[in-house]
Amino acid sequence: MEEIGIVAVGGYNEMGRNMTAVVVGDEIVILDMGIRLDRVQIHEDAEIDRMHSLELIEMGAIPDDTIMRDINGTVRAIVCTHGHLDHIGAIPKLAHRYNAPIISTPYTTALIRQQIEEEKKFKVNNPLVALKAGDSYEITDSITVEFISIPHSIIDSVIAVLHTPYGSVVYACDFKLDRAPTIGASPNFNALKKLGRKGVLAMITETTNSARSGKTPSETIAKEMLRDVLLGTEESHVGMIVTTFASHIARLNAIIEIAEEMGRVPVFMGRSMEKYLMAAHELGFINLPKNVEIYGQRKDVDKALKKIMTEGKEKYLPVVTGHQGEPGSILVRIANGETPFQVESGDRMIFSANIIPSPMTRANRYALETKLKMRGARIYDDVHVSGHAYREDHWELLRMVQPNHVIPAHGDLAMHSAYIEMAEDAGYVLGETVHLLRNGEVLFIEP
């Protein structure tokens, strides 16, 4: 049969646990294998390494790949576009069921390797293939994957393109069209336009921010916002603590640069901070200056916080986990008075992050901020720009790539609806050329 099947395994009804399978004849390529963070109340330091996959599937935390039993064909590769947990977090639980290599960029590969090493329940022996952005890899005689560099809120992210005898399938999850990223390459518009000229059968795209009008501000803006908050003050001697995503290397690097301008020593704390930063440093994505301090273990963190108290808060810029109020994170422990760090009246807490809009997160954040305020802290919220394309960026990508069919993924129904309305503006027709898929559904497309 000369058609391509798109199997919506996970991430089509929700944010998180992304997994799509593309069926080409009797061969299958899996795109992403993610975990849904809020379902296990996971944060970047969480441990689920002893849980069984079926248990996690039942919780709705990882994709229900049992539906793959009903799909004819053999899985030839697992391709991951970037290192966020909602794209790679289910690999330790699911990848061993497939006799296929895992293909991802070097930084993503390093994070996948760590994930596999931390797993206690399953043995994952799939070969790991590190493919650089801009390069291609022949999966089988008939399927080649191409990586096109694209900015996102984690370094070394790509749009993956599957070239098949029936046409190309573009997988754009996740991306922003940032022309001034602070680390890494701008979007490879030439490669994207070339795809559009040659013809694309289908594009599967994230929809996270498709309801937000306009275009996503560049990461350069976030860096300037941070600089303004940290340096633009008449109270430059007070205690300041920054909290942000441990995986957001560009943001962490901006903090290092601004700390230098402030004459403070950046001190990164938390196991996830250590993990993501060291991998980025080892692969040469960032250069850590000699004075940077990094502490992963809790006892080292507490020792460092004690040192900051005795030597003077004005000498250091602690960067900690806990921006979503995750229980057990360092900022929550500080707010609870469980560390040697004493919050004093006028100390500043800088949240370089948005609030993830789930009721649980909102409650955690509310509790955290209230406790910090009761100790006298001043709150600087949302010193942040998104890593996800807004509506007009989606419009541009859609018109650049010009796929025959477009499939919203990686989002809930409201996000997909906003995307579909935008696609209709661009001439696509719901049910004919723009397709709404729910988890567990399969779409067949003829070239």
Which residues of the shown chain bind Zn ion in the complex (CB under 5 A)?
Answer: 84, 174
Between residues 208 and 364, which has the closer beta carbon with respect to Zn ion?
208
Whether residue 169 contacts residue 407, with contact meaning beta carbons closer than 8 Å, is answered with no
Q: Is 163 annotated as a binding residue?
A: no
Between residues 45 and 174, which has the closer beta carbon with respect to Zn ion?
174
Q: Which residues pair with 104 in a beta bridge?
A: 130
User: Long-range pairs for 359-362 at CB < 8 Å and ≥24 separation?
Assistant: 360/38, 360/41, 361/38, 361/324, 361/325
How many angstroms separate the Cα of 140 from the Cα of each of 82, 164, 165, 352? 22, 10, 11, 43
Nearest distance in Å: CB 83, Zn ion: 8
Q: Is 248 annotated as a binding residue?
A: no
Between residues 86 and 146, which has the closer beta carbon with respect to Zn ion?
86
Q: Give residue for tokens 């809790």.
A: 298
Element (H, E) at 76: strand 74-79
**What angle, rounded to 10 degrees, do the helices at 271-282 and 249-262 form?**
90
Q: Is 38 annotated as a binding residue?
A: no
Nearest distance in Å: CB 206, Zn ion: 8
Q: Is 394 annotated as a binding residue?
A: no
What one-letter code names the amino acid at 292? V
Phi (first) and psi of residue 141, to 5 degrees? -60, -30
Which structure tokens are listed for 63?
A: 């994709």
Nearest distance in Å: CB 174, Zn ion: 4
Between residues 84 and 212, which has the closer beta carbon with respect to Zn ion?
84
Which of 438, 388, 416, 391 lies closest to 173 in space, CA to CA?
A: 388
Whether residue 253 contacts residue 352, with contact meaning beta carbons closer than 8 Å, is answered with no
Whether residue 247 contacts residue 154, with contact meaning beta carbons closer than 8 Å, is answered with yes
Whether residue 56 contacts residue 48, with contact meaning beta carbons closer than 8 Å, is answered with yes
Indicate the DSSP class of residue 438. -
Between residues 174 and 326, which has the closer beta carbon with respect to Zn ion?
174
Q: Give residue for tokens 């067949």.
A: 444
Q: Is 136 annotated as a binding residue?
A: no
Between residues 19 and 372, which has the closer beta carbon with respect to Zn ion?
19
Nearest distance in Å: CB 291, Zn ion: 31
Between residues 16 and 270, which has the closer beta carbon with respect to Zn ion?
16
Which structure tokens are listed for 199?
A: 């013809």
Q: Is 302 annotated as a binding residue?
A: no
Q: Give residue for tokens 């070969």.
A: 127
Q: In what order do the strands lie in the sheet with 158-164?
A: 136-138, 144-149, 158-164, 167-172, 200-206, 403-409
Q: Is 152 annotated as a binding residue?
A: yes
Between residues 88 and 330, which has the closer beta carbon with respect to Zn ion?
88
Q: Is 345 annotated as a binding residue?
A: no
Nearest distance in Å: CB 130, Zn ion: 19
Indicate the DSSP class of residue 192. H
Cα separation, 56 vs 51, in Å, equals 7
Q: Is 70 annotated as a binding residue?
A: no
Q: Is 174 annotated as a binding residue?
A: yes
Whether residue 140 contacts residue 165, with contact meaning beta carbons closer than 8 Å, is answered with no
The binding site for Zn(2+) comprises: 82, 84, 86-87, 152, 174, 410
- Known binding residues: 82, 84, 86-87, 152, 174, 384-388, 410
